[in-house]
Structure 1
Amino acid sequence: MQDRTVQPANDFIRPRRLLSYQVGNMQNQGGREYQEDSFCFVNATDVTEIKTQGLLALLADGMGGLEDGKAVSETALQLLREEFLAMDRGGNLAEQLMTAVRRTDESLFYRFSGRGGTTLVACLIYREKLWFACVGDSYLYLQREGELTRLNAEQNQCHTQYAEQIVQGNLDPRAANEADGAQRLSEFMGSGQIGEMDASRRPLILRAGDQLLLCSDGVGGVLNQQELCDCLAKPTPMQACQEMEREIVCRNRAYQDNFTAMVIRCGY
């Protein structure tokens, strides 16, 4: 006789829980005459859209030394949002993100005739994986199990010179750090000819408890890693961002740059 025993309901295999995301942000003009930073989240509050399309976080620091810094940073984010919505989620997201950044750079160059520029940090989260693409000297950090790690490298003359020194066998960074124009950007959005970008070719698998911090150099160049960790220990991402703002404002630096921070916290 065929066994028709019905399995108990509690033997049903539950689907694996998916990560959810909390976000926070802050922005302050600092001691500058204009605010030239721009930022945005796409799909941050829509669970269904995150599942089907992913979550996008963008930060752009318009270059004050060139014209139209704010307009360039805002336009960069608008163009990248459009690129994100058109991506093939079944394709190579790393390549698509890098292509989107290059197309945006070219569009900015033609739109602003090369007179303006901006940095960029672009983070794409899809199916609990992170892809990123960065141009310039804005910051991208991952905090995991209490350790804060910078995921991207600054693209400035100091970094370029030091890389050349390493090839020649000189590992002392002091000459590169002290050179004239060391902090001048070697790559930026709007040049129309990005040579290199710092981008992930393979995705980083995210875990519960991870936090991502995107920030302009008005934050990353002012607060050290321990201070950032202390801020990220706050109960919510918004409180973490508010604490960063408080710490920077309390310093009352005479030439404080515009500063912007975005936090994404992963959890169940």
Structure 2
Amino acid sequence: MGIDFGCRSIVGARSNQEDSYVLRPLPECSTGAGGRLLAIVADGIGGHAHGALASRMAADAFDAAFQAGSEPVPVRLKAALHMANDRLASAITAKPELRGMGTTLVGACVEEQSLSWVSVGDSHLYLHRNGALNKLNADHSMSPFLRQAVEEGAAAATIVRTHPKRRALCSALTGQEIPLVDLVQRPIALQPGDTLILASDGLNTLGDDELHRVIAAWNGAAAEELAAALVAALEGKGVPHQDNATVLVARPQALSRRHAAL
């Protein structure tokens, strides 16, 4: 048994990569054969080099702070998030020209039987279990508010896809106060066969139905193969303005390397 994990990242149609990630077996799990896994996805904002710098700084600071802590996992996750935000604040103070840079971040501690996470922004954490796909973390963009308006009859359904500010962030790491944080208070139990997906919002091109279809089709595959399949599905869409996309896959217990035909 153990944690099977893998990753794929693409630039898409952008000129550079503003996503950063960490996929690290922790000291209790130095061989990747069991114990704990730290997974982080950060999607930079602020334009080109500044976005890339923000996401890399935040991911690295979060990684270092989490590893250095000894408190219960949710406490370590919260502290690591604020350390990442403080790192951005320090960089902006030292170089004011960096003002305006920021990043989303989702950080998860995956164990064989439990999952804890913290997130800010619109990057994703999904759980696929028993044929059902569920988004676990909150979406800190305008999209949930638009969907609520549709459900209340205050707007047409098309607004969710067409509103010019549908992807505007309501919360991100910018070195200032963080408006919204999604922090799990108690680890959730994992089951054999669960699949976890952490991803930047470039994965949105697939939509939940197609995301579910690809995960289900590669149900018996290694995590690295599933990550590759998801990125291949993204590239296969041929979207002219495809965003950067980073996909991390973790399966709490090793599965066979068989896969179903798409």
Give your verdict on TM over 0.5.
Answer: yes
Aligned to 2:260: none
User: Residues of 1 paired with 2:239 and 2:46: CA distance?
Assistant: 18
Aligned to 2:65: 83
> How many aligned positions are there?
244
Aligned to 2:166: 182
3-state SS of the aligned residue for 1:190?
coil
Instruction: Choose 238-247 or 131-140, whichever is displaced more.
Output: 238-247
Flag structure 2 segments of 5+ consecutive residues without an equivalent: 255-262
Q: 1:202 to 1:250 in 2, by over 3 A?
A: same
Asked whether the 8 Å contact 1:94–1:202 carries over to 2, the reply is: yes
Q: What fraction of aligned residue pairs are identical, expressed as a percent?
A: 27
Aligned to 2:192: 208
Q: 1:239 to 1:48 in 2, by over 3 A?
A: closer
CA shift at 1:65, angstroms? 4.1
Task: Give the root-mean-square deviation of aligned CA atoms.
Answer: 2.8
Query: Map of 1:79-228 to 2, 5 A cutoff?
Result: 79-88=61-70, 91-112=71-92, 113=96, 114-126=99-111, 128-160=113-145, 170=152, 174=156, 177=160, 180-219=164-203, 221-228=204-211
Provide Cα deviations, 1:87-116, integer angstroms capped at 9, x if missing partner: 21xx33212311221231122123135331
TM-score for both structures, normalised by structure 2: 0.82
Q: Which amino acid in 2 is paired with 1:92?
A: P
User: Residues of 2 paired with 1:50 and 1:173: CA distance?
Assistant: 48
Provide Cα deviations, 1:48-81, integer angstroms capped at 9, x if missing partner: 5779973100001111547611111111111011
Could you tell me which of 211, 217, 223 is aligned with 1:237? 223
Asked whether the 8 Å contact 1:97–1:133 carries over to 2, the reply is: yes
Provide Cα deviations, 1:237-257, integer angstroms capped at 9, x if missing partner: 111111112111122111111
Q: 1:256 to 1:106 in 2, by over 3 A?
A: same
Aligned to 1:265: 251
Could you tell me which of 230, 233, 239 is aligned with 1:247? 233
User: Residues of 2 paired with 1:198 and 1:155: CA distance?
Assistant: 9
Bigger radius of gyration, 1 or 2?
1
3-state SS of the aligned residue for 1:68?
helix
User: Residues of 2 paired with 1:225 and 1:193: CA distance?
Assistant: 32
Provide Cα deviations, 1:203-243, integer angstroms capped at 9, x if missing partner: 11111111100111111x11122322232232111111111
User: Residues of 1 paired with 2:31 and 2:235: CA distance?
Assistant: 36
Q: 1:125 to 1:246 in 2, by over 3 A?
A: closer
User: Residues of 1 paired with 2:105 and 2:246: CA distance?
Assistant: 12
Q: 1:239 to 1:173 in 2, by over 3 A?
A: farther
Flag structure 1 segments of 5+ consecutive residues without an equivalent: 1-18
Deviating beyond 6 angstroms after TM superposition, the runs of 4 or more aligned structure 1 residues are 49-53
